[in-house]
Amino acid sequence: MPEKITQSIAYLAELYSLEDDNRPWAVAWSGGKDSTTVLSLVLRMLEVLPADKRTRKIHVVMSDTRVENPEVGAYMHSQVQAFNNYVKPRNLP
């Protein structure tokens, strides 16, 4: 993995693991490249953390404004389902 990605994942793990802060996280996902990159980094961070360190809930928020092209809206909803199908069997918070 490129060094910048590794550093970003390590930094996210550091923030996620702060003992004096147990608030849940929220990741806003729009389906675009920027929010998908952030969500991918958070997901990868969770996957490399030991299961006993995954203590905070993380909410992924996708807002359907109903102004999207119907194909884009359908894609976004299918991606939400695919994401849920990925994280649930892995017990990711």
3-state helix/strand/coil string of the chain = CCHHHHHHHHHHHHHHCCCCCCCCEEEECCCCHHHHHHHHHHHHHHHHCCHHHCCCCEEEECCCCCCCCHHHHHHHHHHHHHHHHHHHHHCCC
pLDDT in tens, 25-56: 999 998 889 999 999 999 999 999 999 999 99
Q: What is the pLDDT of residue 30?
A: 87
Residue 26 pairs with which residues in a beta bridge? 59
pLDDT in tens, 49-90: 999 999 999 999 988 787 888 888 888 889 999 999 999 999
Q: What is the pLDDT of residue 68?
A: 80
Residue 77 phi, psi dihedral angles, 5° rounding: -65, -35
